[in-house]
Amino acid sequence: MRLIAILITAVFINNYVMSQFLGICPFLGVSKKVETAAGMGVAVIFVMALASAASWLAYNFILVPLNLDYLYNIAFILIIASLVQFVEMFIKKSSPSLYQALGVFLPLITTNCAVLGVAVSNMQAGYNFIEAVINGVGGAVGFALAIILFAGIRERLERNQILPAVQGFPLALISAGLMSIAFLGFSGISLL
Amino acid sequence: MDITSILYPVLSIGGMGVVFGAFLGFAAIKFKVETDPRVPQVRECLPGANCGGCGYAGCDALADAIVKGDAPVNACPVGGAGVAAKVGAVMGIEAGAEERKVAFVKCNGNCEAAKSKYEYFGIKDCEMEANLAGGSKLCAYGCLGDGNCVRACNFGALRIENGIAVVDEEKCVACGACVKACPKNLIDLVPYGSPVRVQCNSNDMPKVSKDNCSNACMGCQLCARNCPEQAVAITNFLAQVDYSKCTGCGTCTEKCPTKAIKHFN
């Protein structure tokens, strides 16, 4: 039950983009088309599941025994960056078709703060290994949901006549704000 | 203060950095993917507009396909013969000469000539207007003038003039983006500088097309019968020019009662 609660909380209630405002850069940058947004979403799910597992292991087996837990930020950045690099190389070699689909997004995710955010929130909430991975996957699914919905909205906005003053990014930010207000509705639910 | 409280963090974080760095360096060698050195060379020759006119996802994808042999060296419609020669030099293949093409809008149903069915007040998008009873023009084949082709063009070669789309042939690179964007399939790629073209796409019966638009081709056969080269043929009440036979003598354009077949250039 607790695992399901963590998953739903991560996807809807504590949605990384809509209620914690993490990962805004790719959220605005790669949301012009639903197709690319979906690719980005899948890549983030993949990386966040791996990153939350790797950072949990590093935190609990390296940093805590050495009393270095105050260095978690630096350590997590190091781990996530090298993990993403390695995954990119591995996919390029082992599965060219998967690389075609996800490859362009992987370097972008290296510096995605939602990935660092999930590692930090796992640590702060004191999750065990399985809970941490579930939280990572849930957070990434929430990111994918938000970016795909947002890309759908932006595709429709393209077809309309828009005031020149708010064309492009201003309108994108306004619609992102409205979406965020809609997601605020979930905050009334408390599962954990 | 204990020296270990500095030493441990430096050693562990530094150690992690060294281990990850060595691991990545090892992985880079272990998982190295052999790429053909000609791919970046071919990519250098291509224009880099990523317009997709060749049918591939972009210039990188085309360079890949050319080196693999999936695409001919002159596959880039934008670069034309110049780029084809350069790519051919990289690949060691002689590039065949390709004639330059330009987009051409087969409609002259401007605001004065074409009658309208209703007044359209919706979103300015050809596809949306076409969904409303085939658009606001009485002629079901004509240009709607909402500018989907203008928005599709990466090179600023199209504009809407008096309610219909017009191509600037000097700017057009024949990438074909507008051809795909037009919901009425009105845009064709024709040889650059071809003298005579039919500026109509209506397959309606003569009486109907004449009532709908004063610039329409009615399929009256005058052009086909008078052409000394037999370069014009009528199919489905619409004249079609065979550009390989046409000499540009202009007989057909003089005979045409509605001036649907016109002299260009």
Q: Give per-residue pLDDT as tens, A115-153.
A: 899 999 999 999 999 999 999 999 999 999 999 999 999
Residue of B nearest to A63 (CA): B12
Residues A159-182: tens digit of each pLDDT: 788 888 888 889 999 999 999 999
Given B13, B21, B28, which is nearest A74 (Cβ)? B13
Q: Which residues of A touch B123 (CB under 8 A)?
A: 159-161
Best of B12, B126, B150 to mutate (most A CBs within 10 Å, chain A)? B12
State the SS3 of chain A: CHHHHHHHHHHHHCCCCCCCCCCHHHHHHCCCCHHHHHHHHHHHHHHHHHHHHHHHHHHHHHHCCCCCHHHHHHHHHHHHHHHHHHHHHHHHHHCHHHHHHHHHHHHHHCCCHHHHHHHHHHHHHCCCHHHHHHHHHHHHHHHHHHHHHHHHHHHHHHCCCCCHHHCCHHHHHHHHHHHHHHHHHHHHCCCC
Minimum distance, in Å, between the CA of residue A71 and any CA atom of chain B: 8
Spatial contact of B99 and B192, defined as CB atoms under 8 Å apart: yes
The residue assigned the tokens 């996530």 is: A80
Rounded to a whole number of angstroms, the distance from the CA of A38 to the nearest CA of chain B is 17
pLDDT in tens, B187-245: 998 988 888 999 999 998 988 998 899 999 988 888 989 888 888 999 889 999 998 88
**Residues of chain A contacting residue B150, judged by C-beta atoms under 8 Å apart:** none
Parallel/antiparallel/unpaired status of strands B101-105 and B187-191: antiparallel
Using the predicted structure, report yes or no on whether residue B139 has a pLDDT greater than 80. Answer: yes
> Which residue in the set B9, B13, B20 is minimally distant from A82, CB to CB?
B20
The DSSP secondary structure of B127-171, one letter per residue, reads HHHHHTTT-SBSSTTS---S-HHHHH-SSS-EEEETTEEEE-TTT
Distance from CA of B246 to the nearest CA of A (A): 41
Angle at B156 between CA B154 and CA B161, to 5 degrees: 135
How far A140 CA lies from chain B's nearest CA (Å)?
25
Is the ipTM higher than 0.85? The answer is no
Residue B95: per-residue pLDDT: 58
- How far is Cα B239 from Cα B201, in angstroms, rounded to an integer? 9
Q: Which residues contact B113 (CB under 8 A, 6 or more apart)?
A: B213, B214, B215, B216
Instruction: Tell which of B13, B34, B60 to mutate to test the A interface (max A CBs under 10 Å).
Output: B13
Tokens of A56: 């949990």
Determine, for residues B24 and A86 on separate chains, whether the beta-carbon distance falls below 8 Å: yes
Pairwise CA distance, residues A80 & A83, whole Å: 5
